[in-house]
Structure 1
Amino acid sequence: MGNVVVGLAVSVDGYIAGPEDGPTAPLGEGGAALFEWYTDGDTPSRHHPRFRMARQSAAVFDAIVDPVGAVVTGRRTYDITGGWGGDSPVPGRPLFILTHHVPRPLPETTVPHTFVTDGVASAIAQARAAAGDRDVSLAGAQAVQQAIRAGLLDELHLAVVPVLLGGGVRLFDHLGGPVRLEKIRVVDAPSVTHLSYRVREDSRVRKDA
């Protein structure tokens, strides 16, 4: 069985999107700065060839994406991104969406999209079944926060961008208490610092499981 992981770009003050994000401005005001490192180098990603990153960033990015077998996201993130055009944030991987209401009619997709109405534990369990021995990746702040509260997150990979957004979508709100981490890796790259952590077993409180 693989790990439950998250890999996200984040500002120094902890935001993954700027203020006033929505379908017409998915990254909010100033949020585009979080993704400049995806295109400021000359090394393409094996998974997203249009991303051309610094060599160090491409190695870290692909190492995180390589083992992913399925993705879980929240409904707000799903709607803001337009459902990734029927695909998934990790291309070709099945997507599981946390929601209170299943859309009707179901959207047309190129990979399976499953709407899960009975909570994050169920969504992750279904994603694990689809992923087999590969990882389950989380997309969006809500899915990450719910997984942390439920004690279900294994690893956290942050691309910390040197910008202060001052508002927007915070990654680490509503965690339900302190979460202790173990450092796995630190990689300094042009315009971004990659930090990887493992969630300690004594922080898996499973409050919402």
Structure 2
Amino acid sequence: MAGATLLDSEAGRVLLDFSRARLLAPFMARPMTIPEAARYARSSPSALAYWVRRFVDLGLLRQVGERKPHTYQAVSAEFMVDLSRTAPLDAVIAQMNQPGTDRLSHSITQQYQRISEDWMIRIYVDGNNLLRQELVPSPFPTQAALPEEIRQQLPLDTFGLIRLNRRQAKRLADALMAVVLEAFQEQSEDPNDDNYFLHIALTRDTPPE
């Protein structure tokens, strides 16, 4: 991509770590002092100061001007990392998805705990002879028996297999994205309303060996 800086060394491996890359991100947007960037990165200035020195040593960051407090800026607003020289693809994808996966799991857990502190897990085989596990509040034996007000609060958390040809898969992906885009366009402007964590995935299934 035009304007991108290619990284295939230790600097690239550092930026593949999301927890490190987010510390550089404020400086990629514009020149900042360490205290300014620390607020955006939600880091302590002292912890960020260490990584600023590290980023400078790696050639990712440069000091802008001589005035104090010192101002720093990333050497590029965009970086490209050559994975063939830094890390295996499966490890990189797992690392990229980890922050979202962790947040999704945490948010689902918190919502279940808001509904009830006591849960049971229902283990059964569905109509397709697939083993299923389902959380249900302990006073209720099945999902179907839950009161409507509780069922409406349960987080949407499901996955499954569906047989599609490529055209059908593309149509489903387009339809899902259209629904999501419409929801974003119509989202609430009331700051008192809740934020909802959204995750969408559709890919050809390849069972692990």
TM-score (norm 2): 0.20
Higher RCO (C-alpha 8 Å, min separation 6): 1
The structure with more radius of gyration? 2
TM-score by length of 1: 0.20
The structure with the largest helix share of the pair is 2
